[in-house]
């Protein structure tokens, strides 16, 4: 009867560090309790907290709990004593968000972030609704070496940073490749390429997609899975060189993120090629419009330039000839008009 009343419970709150301010559990399993003012002298850590000596772990739904804790989402804890076993237990509980399927047009409404999945990092690029790259490329690194817990923590931390950045930019969806290496890592497929087979075997594509969907639902973001065919090749061919500047270093993976985002938005990956110089009628070359065909104002009317529109005569030739001073000195008499005076008739 007394042991049943030896418990301590605290509700969680989203936005607080690790989802709970009273009973705080770090992703490593370290437990600390915020002591009330009358018991503040018993604290063994800073800010009036009492830290337990032993770490805890969750065997059931531990991955889902770690995702919530890493994202600072609400988690309720209850510490109670089991008199039969003589042990203290920590129970975590939370409310699972309802994952709703939104229309594709609604998911594309605020732009997307194209994410290229690699063996050691996520290459992400933001695109607006017209498929144009915005800002600079972002990379979120992780390591797949070490223990399973370490690999899981690395991927979780990279996804958390990706979702935080997506929420800051204001996009409504994240576009990823629908990768499945289940039948692509056999020796019959890649022969003696052992290192490549080990590389694709170590990429947690299935677990990554399921985890990203569950974590993005808590942030109010939609996930769009696209066909991964030729995204890296066409991205590097059409987007890597045009976006590379002296201050921006574009890689093939960054360009693949743009290709994935454009495919999720329904735009073609390939850029509109510029015609030859002899076929360009504009003074600054042909415009390469990336907006959708139905977007209003994507290609407004060109200003009317007076004069003939030929390559032999410049557009402003007629106006220039009327206003400029002649370089050669002509005969003044030839420019005058001769008028005969009327004859005086007298009788």
What is the b/e burial string over 148-157, where b = at least 16 CB atoms within 10 angstroms of the residue's CB? Answer: eeebbbbbbb
User: What is the second-level CATH architecture of the domain 104-265?
Assistant: 2-Layer Sandwich (3.30)
Measured CA to CA, the distance from residue 304 to residue 61 in angstroms comes to 67
Pinpoint the residues of the chain covered by CATH 3.30.420.140.
Answer: 104-265
pLDDT along the chain (347 residues), means of 10: 80 89 92 91 91 89 85 90 86 80 86 88 92 91 79 84 91 84 46 52 63 82 88 89 88 92 90 63 53 55 58 52 50 48 51
The candidate with the shortest Cα–Cα distance to 106, out of 208, 220, 209, 231, is 220
* Residue 129 DSSP SS3: coil
**Dihedral sign, Cα of residue 53, residue 80, residue 6, residue 76:** positive
Strand order in the sheet with 133-141: 133-141, 121-127, 112-117, 173-177, 222-226
**Cα–Cα distance, 238 to 215 (Å, whole number):** 32
Whole-structure pTM value: 0.60
Taking CA 182 as the corner, what is the angle to CA 176 and CA 187, rounded to the nearest 5 degrees?
Answer: 125
Output the pLDDT for position 174. 93
């Amino acid at each position: 009867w007394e042991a049943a009343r030896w418990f301590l419970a605290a509700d969680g709150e989203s936005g607080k560090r690790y989802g709970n301010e009273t009973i705080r559990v770090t992703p490593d399993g370290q437990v600390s309790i915020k002591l009330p003012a009358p018991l503040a002298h018993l604290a063994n850590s800073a800010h009036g907290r009492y830290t337990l000596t032993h770490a805890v772990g969750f065997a059931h739904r531990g991955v889902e709990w770690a995702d919530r804790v890493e994202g600072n989402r609400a988690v309720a804890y209850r510490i109670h004593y089991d008199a039969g076993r003589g042990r203290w237990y920590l129970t975590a509980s939370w409310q699972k968000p309802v994952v709703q399927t939104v229309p594709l047009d609604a998911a594309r409404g605020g732009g997307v972030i194209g994410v290229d999945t690699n063996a050691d990092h996520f290459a992400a690029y933001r695109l607006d609704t017209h498929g144009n790259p915005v800002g600079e490329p972002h990379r979120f690194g992780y390591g797949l070496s070490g223990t399973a817990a370490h690999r899981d923590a690395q991927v979780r931390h990279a996804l958390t940073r990706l979702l935080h950045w997506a929420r800051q930019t204001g996009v409504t969806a994240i576009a990823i490749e629908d990768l499945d290496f289940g039948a692509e890592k056999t020796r019959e497929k890649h022969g003696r390429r052992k290192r490549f087979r080990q590389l694709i075997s170590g990429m947690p594509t299935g677990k990554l997609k399921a985890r990203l969907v569950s974590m993005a639902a808590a942030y109010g973001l939609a996930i769009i899975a696209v066909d991964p065919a030729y995204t890296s090749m066409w991205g590097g061919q059409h987007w890597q060189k045009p976006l590379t500047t002296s201050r921006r270093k574009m890689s093939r993976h960054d360009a693949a993120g743009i290709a994935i985002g454009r495919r999720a938005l329904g735009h073609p990956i390939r850029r509109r090629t510029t015609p030859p110089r002899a076929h360009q009628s504009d003074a600054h070359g042909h415009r390469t419009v990336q907006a959708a065909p139905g977007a209003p104002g994507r290609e407004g009317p060109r200003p009317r330039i007076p004069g003939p529109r030929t390559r032999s005569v410049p557009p402003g030739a007629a106006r220039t000839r009327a206003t400029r001073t002649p370089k050669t000195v002509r005969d003044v008499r030839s420019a005058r008009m001769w008028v005969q005076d009327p004859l005086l008739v007298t009788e």
